[in-house]
């Protein structure tokens, strides 16, 4: 399912209909997805066999470069260039705006649902001064809309994640969900094949409302689901985190509702979690 989204994104890129922010994410995806590379290279071959193929390729790549540079140069709420803005498969610019705005709003609105070092952000607090990181979840509604995830989500919802990292102490982020049976579903980084064991990707510091770009859909079982975000000082591998989840799961009696923290050394990161209900 997710692979189909990536393939569609590559097709749209070569068709000239992929938004620039999504192109950045598509290029990054090429490094970790062999099937995506094959698809991309078939498009390259098609381009090359055309009578004007060389010129097409040259122009396509330049257009993409310029568009990406313009998107990435848009200042974020933190006033810094959007170094890590990643695209998604539809309406990235609208979502970027929504994500950034939601980043501001949800720091307060969602604060009560998240465990943070600094505690809840007081009403009226300047968010630039509130240095605790936060994470925000959006679900797709229809073809072109998103909305913040409240207390429930559907089992087939595509989820888009955005984060705010106003401080400078955390440089890496992992986002995953633990279902009612203790199963771990990875949102960030992608973990699609056993044995890959990817590391936590780098994120921006001193930035608010940064979307992670790719909408992700997992086949989630109906029931309680705990979404967990780990802001880290060093990149940990997913298998290490899954080991922590397993140990925490056992020590908390196999209850996702009770599993609010992992046995993670405090110096290594900050844990945020939120309990949701997955409904049919």
Query: For binding to other proteins (CB under 8 A), which residues are involved?
Result: 11, 23, 27-28, 30-32, 36-37, 39-46, 48-51, 53-54, 58, 61-62, 64-66, 68-69, 72-73, 81, 196-199, 201
Nearer to other proteins, 139 or 204 (CB): 204
In degrees rounded to 5, what are phi and psi of residue 165?
Answer: -135, 75
As measured in angstroms, the least distance from the Cβ of 262 to other proteins is 23
As measured in angstroms, the least distance from the Cβ of 37 to other proteins is 4
Q: Are 125 and 170 in contact (CB under 8 A)?
A: no
Nearer to other proteins, 43 or 206 (CB): 43
As measured in angstroms, the least distance from the Cβ of 11 to other proteins is 8
Nearer to other proteins, 50 or 150 (CB): 50
As measured in angstroms, the least distance from the Cβ of 254 to other proteins is 32
Residues 6+ apart with CB under 8 A from 78: 128, 166, 206, 207, 208
Q: Is the dihedral of CA 55, 59, 61, 62 positive or negative?
A: positive
Nearer to other proteins, 27 or 182 (CB): 27
Nearer to other proteins, 41 or 128 (CB): 41
Alpha-carbon distance 81 to 89, whole Å?
22
As measured in angstroms, the least distance from the Cβ of 76 to other proteins is 14
Alpha-carbon distance 180 to 57, whole Å?
49
Alpha-carbon distance 127 to 246, whole Å?
35
Count of residues for the chain?
280
As measured in angstroms, the least distance from the Cβ of 234 to other proteins is 14
Alpha-carbon distance 210 to 138, whole Å?
12
Nearer to other proteins, 195 or 280 (CB): 195
As measured in angstroms, the least distance from the Cβ of 186 to other proteins is 15
Alpha-carbon distance 33 to 131, whole Å?
35
Instruction: Give the residue ranges of DSSP H helices in the chain.
Output: 2-14, 20-30, 34-49, 53-73, 92-109, 238-251
Helix (H, G, I), strand (E, B) or coil at 59: helix
Helix (H, G, I), strand (E, B) or coil at 1: coil
Nearer to other proteins, 43 or 113 (CB): 43
Nearer to other proteins, 48 or 247 (CB): 48
Q: Which two tokens stand for residue 166?
A: 């106003």
Q: Are 194 and 245 in contact (CB under 8 A)?
A: no
As measured in angstroms, the least distance from the Cβ of 75 to other proteins is 12
Alpha-carbon distance 103 to 57, whole Å?
38
């Amino acid at each position: 399912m997710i692979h189909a989204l990536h393939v569609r994104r590559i097709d749209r890129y070569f068709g000239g209909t992929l938004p620039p922010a999504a192109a950045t994410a598509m290029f990054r995806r090429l490094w970790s997805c062999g099937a995506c590379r094959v698809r991309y290279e078939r498009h390259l071959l098609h381009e090359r066999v055309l009578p004007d193929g060389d010129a097409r390729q040259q122009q396509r790549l330049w257009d993409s470069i310029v568009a990406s540079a313009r998107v990435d140069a848009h200042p974020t709420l933190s006033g810094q260039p959007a170094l890590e803005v990643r695209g998604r498969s539809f309406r990235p610019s609208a979502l970027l705006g929504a994500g950034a705005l939601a980043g501001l709003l949800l720091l307060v609105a969602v604060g009560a649902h998240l465990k943070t070092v600094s505690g809840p952000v007081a009403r009226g607090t300047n968010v630039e001064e509130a240095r605790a990181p936060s994470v925000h979840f959006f679900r797709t509604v229809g073809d072109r809309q998103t909305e913040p995830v409240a207390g429930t989500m559907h089992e087939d919802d595509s989820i888009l994640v955005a984060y705010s990292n106003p401080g400078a102490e955390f440089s890496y982020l992992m986002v995953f969900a633990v279902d009612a049976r203790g199963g771990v579903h990875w949102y960030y980084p992608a973990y699609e094949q056993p044995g890959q064991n990817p590391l936590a990707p780098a994120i921006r510091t001193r930035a608010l409302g940064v979307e992670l770009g790719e909408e992700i859909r997992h086949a989630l079982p109906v029931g309680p689901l705990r979404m967990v975000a780990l802001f880290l000082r060093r990149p940990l591998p997913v298998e290490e985190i899954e080991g922590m989840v397993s140990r925490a799961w056992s020590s908390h009696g196999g209850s996702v509702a009770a599993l609010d923290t992992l046995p993670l050394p405090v110096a290594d990161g900050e844990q945020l979690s939120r309990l949701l209900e997955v409904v049919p």
